[in-house]
Amino acid sequence: MNRGRFIRDFVIRTVLFLTTVCFLSGRATAQTVNGTFHGTVSDSSGAILPGATVEVKNASTDLVRQTTTTGDGFYTITQLPPGHYAINASKSGFTTARQADVELLVNQDAEVNFTLQVGAVSQTVDVTAAPPALQTTNATISQVIGSKEVVDLPLNGRQFTQLVLLTPGAAPKETGQQGFFVIPIGGGGISPSVNGQRGQQNNFTLDGVLNNAIFDNTWAISPPPDAIQEFNVQSQMTDAQFSISSGANVNVVTKPGSNQFHGAVWEFLRNDKLDAANFFDNFFKNKKPPFRQNQYGFQAGGPLYIPHLYDGRAKKTYVSGYWEGFRSTKGFTVTNNVPTAAELGGDFSDILTHTQATVVDPTTLQPIPIFDPLGRPVLNGQIFDPYSTRQVAAGQVDPKTGIVAKSTGLVREPFAENVITGVPLNPQALTYIKAFFPAPNLNVPPNTFPNFAASSSDVIKSDQFGVRFDHTFGNNDTLYGNFYYAQPTRTFPNSLLIGGNTARNSSRVTAVGYTHLFSPTLLGTFHYGYNWTFFGTTNVPGGVDLLNATNQAGLTPVRNDIPIVPQISLSPRLGGTGQFAIPLGPIRSHQFSTDIQKIRGSHTLSAGAMLFHIHSFDDGWGTSIGFDQYPTSANYVFNGSNSNASGSGDGLASMLLNLPSNLFGFVGYTGADDKTNWQGYYLQDKWQASKKLNIQIGIRYDYVPPARYKNDEVSGWNPDCPVPATPALPGSAEAAAITNACFLIPIPFSTPPGSGPVPNPSWPFPNVRKTFFDPKYNGWQPRFGFAYGATPKTVVRGAFTVFTDHNNTLVQESQDPRIAWPFGAGVSFGGLNRGVVNCEQPDLNASQACWSELPSATSFLPPNNYTPALAFGATPRLKIPYAMQYNLSVEREITPSLTGTMSYVGTGSRHLFIQPMYNAPLTPGPGPVAPRSPFPFFGQFPWDTNSGVGSYNSLQVKVQKRFSEGLTFLGSYTWSKCLSIQDEGQSGSIQNPYDWSADKGPCDFNIPHLFVFSYGYELPVGKGKYFGSSMSGIGNAILGGWQISGITTAESGSPLTVTAGTDNANINPSSETQRANPVAGAPLLPSGFHQGPEQWYNPAAFVLPPPFTYGTLGRNTLRGPKSINWDFALLKNFRITESKRFQFRSEFFNVFNNVNLSPPGGGASGGFSTIGGETQTAVSDPNFMKIFSAAAAREIQVSLKFLW
């Protein structure tokens, strides 16, 4: 179906749908920022007053709306922009009651009741008591962060998303690829897990339209705090109007213009001279790295005024806008494990320990010494000559050594004194290593790590601006439009000589909204939004010369003028390199929404429709070559099978001897260019059943058709393909037949018959739909909530909602079938060179490969190869992820401005997106990997399936004081538990692809205890204050105008998984994360053990599993260090006139300079916990259980503002 016809049909369906709703007295609201006033009008005896007039007037724009109370005395006025309002209630025979200043927050449904006294309607009685602070209308879990908090609270980098963490249930952990792609401005923004949902499941809106960077599910635009009026963090939403995803809805509204000109000019400054040194700067005795950060800009708004031509105040036309620049050069200490000069010359005597290697007996679970088949002891760190590998037979004399073999198996010769002699070192490998790796510079003993530390600079530049236009045509029609632009760039070096990262985050968001008031009880709203993002990142390329010098141009040819080289890993001792290109975007979307609103009696019925057109482009390519210890390790016989001693050998030695252990890459055409059209519809009834009871019930339906790929360039393997009883061998007729039946391609692809006895697989006819994926029609989402006023000061609320979650995986799922053969190919080979090696005629199918003779990219593609090579896979029958969310709350008014809330909040998630490995070996075992796989004729690849499950249960306590007498605060405590199988498809956390249940454990974002307290206080000193109320002149200038604010957080440590760090099960290390085993009787924290950066848990409590077995430790069973952080701000206002003032402020992040260590193996991100994803530490790593990263030490920021 073409786009024009689709939109035409959508419009017809929408008009019919909304027309039907209008006849049913329906109402609809979009993903709106607007709020509602409701309440009752009664006389002094408590009797209801039908027919009373209620009028609201916006203090900034003079917008006026009126309604009359129903026969039950109820009134409702909806679709009001957030702001301050005067509200009047009047009726003939009674005095007029007025609330002169009531603040309506974003998305708020505020209750304002009136009691009218007998008298003349011309007489006005001002009601001074503030409306109740209780939430009396719905059970949505929400937290509004107002303009004062947004502007006054200390924010490192002035990123509003940091304030999302003030919300109960918000865990400071991202998921997926969020932290990887988003450029951090200052302390960086965050898309946290909220109430047990993944950070990827959040939805961001800006002025009523979607504000998502769709690929990584973060925000597209982050306006400066001075441009934000307020924002609302909502979860478990009972309003059926809200959709997109099952996490939090972060709804931001920017400041519009008003009748008065207002604005601000600012500069925020940070400098290393003001900051404390990071814990690890001192730990490694490094000089504190230099740091310079400047953030400057302005925001202004008011009536549109053109002298002698146009007076926006009279015409009710308002404009506002902002611009902000950011420049940061931040030094930091980087460490690495790098080769020594002796090692590059083949001398590995520094790693030889002269202790015998052991293996865990699977029966006794005790270590037993390792001997090779000739009966020679194998030493830890011993390097063996892989080219001497040969077969010996028990009882027979080995011709090379003259020793009688003790067992039958493969044997290798150790290099004397652990120095490689008699075999030439590979010159291409040396060229590569010397191009990337610096020499060690830390004075540490041999084979002690890290042995290199240096200072590098992270350079970030950003410019952003936004403009907004608002116009009122009388009181019945309002129009707004905006445009927002942001383009941060980053150059982020690493600890190597080349290969640092460059990134760009470009975003454009445009919105237009129109509201028409047909009558006081019938409204229509219409929105259009356009979103454009490009979140690309690329390593600084190694260059054409290095490609040619290392003979890698065939495997990794230059594309798009980006000459990256293969990246490598050198496990288990040394660091690796980074060489990958990810031009992610542009991703474009158009959002159309149509809404009708009708109020009848005590019912507010709702209906609406949305069209969301998405055009996504994703690309990424590169190759990765892994070198581990096994090609240069000892061979020995274990349980009758040839094995490799993991304590011997070394990845660097393997590379110098030309022998990789695994090969992975994306070659050929690797992009995904696809489009889809999301439709959403909903109905809802909000019923004010009585003065005490509000009930909300609704239903939503979303349909997201599978994406259509450009030129139909998509294909994949059917994961439901039956596994033959006897695996089909590569090149066999059986393999060709299975490939014909199970490889899915939507276009004809006929292949030549081939020259051998077995014909090539061929697909003369399509065998899967053009979209590859099947459509899913069961996107129904019921919503129910209630709010009951048990007493005038106590409200009980509860809800049950269902949210489908297309947004979390919308682009991820559609782009994963990219690199689709025959257009592109995924290369994945593991377990290489563990036995007999051959660099004259290496055969990948025999688990042989050599660095200097790796196959070319074209060798995996037609016409050179007609066997599909897959990078990703997915079942065409994906299900819709959804979450069942439920809560029960009790809120109590303690004082008119202070409330306390206790809530139970729970979630059960089903059909979550996970990404296990496909075609992994059915069982661990010795020898080549492929023969143990279900389909030995092709490699392994991750495949998408919506089969994950999750659960979340929490107790949440919140105390909030709205601003009065100069004080406001918000405090919350969350006690929770979250369980899942896997929390992001890219983590590879599932150990055994055939036993997912073994991975059930705490979520990556399971932080059981979370405490957050934020506050702002205007000190009661100075003119008009409690102390010194009559003060003036220099005394008031010095002592008056002081404010303090701050945020205090305390949280449990992040979950931690202990891994093997090596392919111990011999299933291909590019597949899944293999875990370690616990040591029986060894305590995690022995008596006298002190947890610290040198050792967080007892390393002796963990051990590699027996060879060819999976680890028995669970996922996320341990926990990293807790975090306690105090951010504080001191502000001084110098008032020039009544409306103009200067403000000087100093902000202290981590004011008490607490050392907040990251988990072992984890990295710290600003003042937050670890960057998204699972945190792991490997028992085979020389730095096992050590910590080398901490959150920032005390940082000080100063600023000067001019406000008017």
Q: Which of 799, 764, 761, 798 is nearest to 782 (CA)?
A: 799
- Looking at residue 229, its pLDDT comes to 93
Q: Which of 153, 469, 459 is nearest to 320 (CA)?
A: 469
- Quick one: how far is CA 377 from the chain centroid? 49
Amino acid at 671: G
Name the phi and psi angles at 736, rounded to 5: -65, -40
Q: Which of 1149, 1150, 1152, 1131 is nearest to 1199 (CA)?
A: 1131
Tokens 């350079």 correspond to what residue?
A: 459
CATH for 31-126?
Answer: 2.60.40.1120
- Looking at residue 71, its pLDDT comes to 86
pLDDT 10s digits, 605-623: 889 999 999 999 989 999 9
pLDDT per 10-residue tile (average), the chain, 1204 residues: 52 48 37 81 89 92 89 88 91 89 87 89 77 86 90 93 94 80 89 92 92 90 95 91 87 92 96 90 82 96 93 93 96 87 97 92 86 96 97 95 95 97 95 96 91 88 96 89 96 88 95 91 91 93 95 94 95 92 92 89 90 93 94 92 92 97 92 93 92 93 93 92 90 92 94 85 94 93 95 95 81 79 91 91 87 93 91 88 96 94 97 90 88 89 90 97 92 97 78 92 95 96 87 86 96 93 80 84 94 94 92 94 96 92 96 93 45 66 88 94 96
Helix (H, G, I), strand (E, B) or coil at 429: helix
Return the CA Rg of the chain: 33
Task: Write the DSSP string, 142-167.
Answer: EEEEEHHHHHHS--TT--GGGGGGGS
pLDDT 10s digits, 199-231: 889 999 999 899 999 888 899 999 999 999 999
pLDDT 10s digits, 144-154: 998 889 999 99
Helix (H, G, I), strand (E, B) or coil at 21: helix
Q: How many CB atoms lie within 10 A of CB 186?
A: 25
- Quick one: how far is CA 836 from the chain centroid? 44
Map out the domains of the chain as residue ranges: 31-126
564 by Cβ neighbours in 10 Å (0-12 / 13-18 / 19+) ranks as buried
Amino acid at 1149: F
864 by Cβ neighbours in 10 Å (0-12 / 13-18 / 19+) ranks as exposed
Residue 98's contacts (CB-CB under 8 Å, 6 or more residues apart) are 86, 87, 88, 89, 124, 125, 126, 127
Strands 1164-1165 and 967-980: unpaired
Residue 581's contacts (CB-CB under 8 Å, 6 or more residues apart) are 538, 539, 559, 560, 562, 564, 619, 620, 621, 622
Residues in the chain: 1204
- Looking at residue 280, its pLDDT comes to 85
Amino acid at 539: N
Q: What are the residue ranges of helices labelled H in 924-1047?
A: 1033-1039
> Is the Cβ–Cβ distance between 33 and 207 less than 8 Å?
yes
Q: Which stretches of 1060-1138 are assigned E, i.e. beta strand?
A: 1077-1078, 1102-1103, 1118-1119, 1123-1135
What tokens does 446 get?
Answer: 């041999």
Measured over the CA atoms of residue 798, residue 802, residue 807 and residue 809, the dihedral's sign is: positive
Q: Which of 192, 252, 237 is nearest to 217 (CA)?
A: 192
Portion of the chain with pLDDT greater than 70, in percent? 95
pLDDT 10s digits, 972-997: 999 999 999 998 766 667 899 999 99
- Quick one: how far is CA 317 from the chain centroid? 39
